[in-house]
Structure 1
Amino acid sequence: MAGFSHRARAPVDIAMVAHPSVTLFVDLSEGDGLTYDVGGRHERGAVVVGLLPGDVRTTGRGAGECLQIRLEPVAAAAVLGSPSDICGLVVALDDVWGCAAERAEARLRAAASWDERFAIATKILGRRLVARRPADPEVAQAWRRTRASRGRVRIDRLADEVGWSRKRLLSRFRSQLGITPKRAARLVRFDHAAHLLAAGHSAATVAAASGYVDQSHLHRDVKEFSGQTPTAVAAAAWLAIDDVAWPIPRPARPRPVAAGR
């Protein structure tokens, strides 16, 4: 989790960059707050950004605060329900949670500090995680291996490692995480490449280090996942704050980190 405060009265206009997680935003601003735009669809308030959202912009005006929560897809499958329903979309949290979303948002707004908000959110997510059926252990293992390999593990090898046939892995992975193993690997590889670009490495160096055939291959993936060029992604404000909001290495016992921007 991360808490963001924007205190300036100037307009906010930030292009989001796809990440291998399902993301929750709870806008705690007064007034109109933030708007999330994707494919001509607009959402406000508390929203869920599914995997592969494409070209998403966050816009707004004035001061405010926002709680952002990243859920790995395995956890999101339990916390949010069917991931295939939100894959590629930005949807209102109350469309997913119903009345529970409004109650959660009210509790977070009433909290006196970021630490209190983090504690409230942790309890809410924890209860839902325990109450719902998790993804199959084999699917969870396949996802972890995909992340650990930075998207460069072959599907046949994944199937062998979890003891399933390729067909079974494809079917269960997609039904439970809302994405195919191949597509998941491409998203993870893109994420690694995007952060290398943001760190100042050249497109040629990033392409070679991330397993792309050449710069053109990198350019196509960057365009598909972000709607931007490698040059634009390298300068993305969204990635520039990652090391602040999500510090690495993380503590042995995960705890929320507040980052004011």
Structure 2
Amino acid sequence: MASYAERPPQAATRGLLTCVWARSVMPSAVEETRVVPDACVDVMWERETGRMFVAGPDTGPHVTSLAAGELVGVRFHRGHSPVGLGVPADALRDERVELDALWAPSRVDRLADELAATASTERAQDVLSAAVLDGARGRSDPAVPAVLQLARSGARVGEMADSVGLTERQLHRRCLASFGYGPKVLQRVLRFDAAVRLARAGTGLADVAYRAGYADQAHLAREVRAFAGVPLTVLLG
């Protein structure tokens, strides 16, 4: 059997992280999982192997087998990963990158020792969160909140650029650095994520299409195929 749970991060990290989470898989429940785009970046630690890695912002499905054991993760607020990781988000797009490729080996070694000494999931989450916070440098792009709001509203790229006082080229470059996507792809990913959340909450597909901002169910179906690789009903299981 596999289980997944999220909780809010510690107060000190709430400006940087949106949640901490853990997935546990029993040996008899090893199975394939499909991770779909959500414009988020996560740092993860596998308790059984000690592996630490980063999952960048995806543009398509990432299908992998869940290994038996516990996977602990922390998730950045959208647009905030460059502060915690020290690299632009587009450098991680569609990638799974070992943490020691981004941070100094001595820092990664210390973190590995601290995580290995944890006796509980909650303690491991707190250690991983603190490590991300300790390494944070600078500030997120101040345009991030406005860009997210505009992208969710369905504003045209030109309108988004005008609203935040940038040219379209500047907006594209800064969106790539913060989110890993240009503004148009960011819009599509956010709309897709909203649709998946609505569907998982039990909303009918026709209402999902309308409430998430799609032209019709056919439009929704095409976008789900593009981002998930399977129909929405299959994705929901």
TM-score range, shorter chain: 0.7 to 0.9
Alpha-carbon offset, residue 180 of structure 1: 0.6
Match of 1:101 among 108, 115, 131: 108
The yes-or-no answer on 1:70 pairing with 2:75 is yes
* Equivalent position of 1:155 in the other structure: 157
Alpha-carbon offset, residue 111 of structure 1: 0.9
User: Which piece of structure 1 moves more, 50-59 or 212-221?
Assistant: 50-59
Q: Are residues 207 and 60 of structure 1, via their aligned partners in 2, closer, same or farther at CA, if it must alter by over 3 Å?
A: closer
Q: How many Å separate the matches in 2 of 1:234 and 1:10? A: 18
SS in 1 for 2:113: helix
Q: How many Å separate the matches in 1 of 2:124 and 2:163? A: 40
For residue 52 of structure 2, what is the amino acid of its counterpart? A
The yes-or-no answer on 1:141 pairing with 2:145 is yes
For residue 57 of structure 1, what is the amino acid of its counterpart? V
The yes-or-no answer on 1:117 pairing with 2:118 is no
Structure with more relative contact order (C-alpha pairs < 8 Å, separation 6 or more):
1
* Equivalent position of 2:36 in the other structure: 17
Q: Between the two proteins, what is the percent identity of the paired residues?
A: 27
Conserved 8 A contact 1:47-1:93: yes
Q: Are residues 107 and 190 of structure 1, via their aligned partners in 2, closer, same or farther at CA, if it must alter by over 3 Å?
A: same
For residue 161 of structure 1, what is the amino acid of its counterpart? S
Conserved 8 A contact 1:16-1:55: yes
For residue 169 of structure 1, what is the amino acid of its counterpart? L
Q: How many Å separate the matches in 2 of 1:113 and 1:136? A: 35
Alpha-carbon offset, residue 51 of structure 1: 1.0
Q: How many Å separate the matches in 1 of 2:29 and 2:236? A: 23
Q: How many Å separate the matches in 1 of 2:110 and 2:229? A: 35
RMSD between superposed Cα atoms in Å: 2.3
Q: How many Å separate the matches in 1 of 2:192 and 2:54? A: 21
* Equivalent position of 2:84 in the other structure: 79
Alpha-carbon offset, residue 75 of structure 1: 1.6
Q: Are residues 23 and 61 of structure 1, via their aligned partners in 2, closer, same or farther at CA, if it must alter by over 3 Å?
A: closer
Match of 2:203 among 186, 201, 204: 201
Alpha-carbon offset, residue 184 of structure 1: 0.7
Conserved 8 A contact 1:22-1:70: yes
Alpha-carbon offset, residue 93 of structure 1: 2.0
Q: How many Å separate the matches in 1 of 2:153 and 2:94? A: 19
* Alignment of structure 1 residues 1-261 onto 2, 5 Å: 1-29=20-48, 45-62=51-68, 64-80=69-85, 81-99=87-105, 100-129=107-136, 132-138=137-143, 140-146=144-150, 150=152, 152-235=154-237
Alpha-carbon offset, residue 173 of structure 1: 2.1
Q: How many Å separate the matches in 2 of 1:151 and 1:20? A: 16
Conserved 8 A contact 1:82-1:178: yes
Number of corresponding residues = 216
Conserved 8 A contact 1:74-1:134: no
Q: Are residues 115 and 11 of structure 1, via their aligned partners in 2, closer, same or farther at CA, if it must alter by over 3 Å?
A: closer
Conserved 8 A contact 2:224-2:231: yes
Alpha-carbon offset, residue 69 of structure 1: 1.5
Deviations 1:91-111 (A, max 9, x none): 222222241334323311211
Conserved 8 A contact 1:18-1:54: yes
For residue 78 of structure 1, what is the amino acid of its counterpart? V
For residue 215 of structure 1, what is the amino acid of its counterpart? Q
User: Which piece of structure 1 moves more, 10-19 or 218-227?
Assistant: 10-19
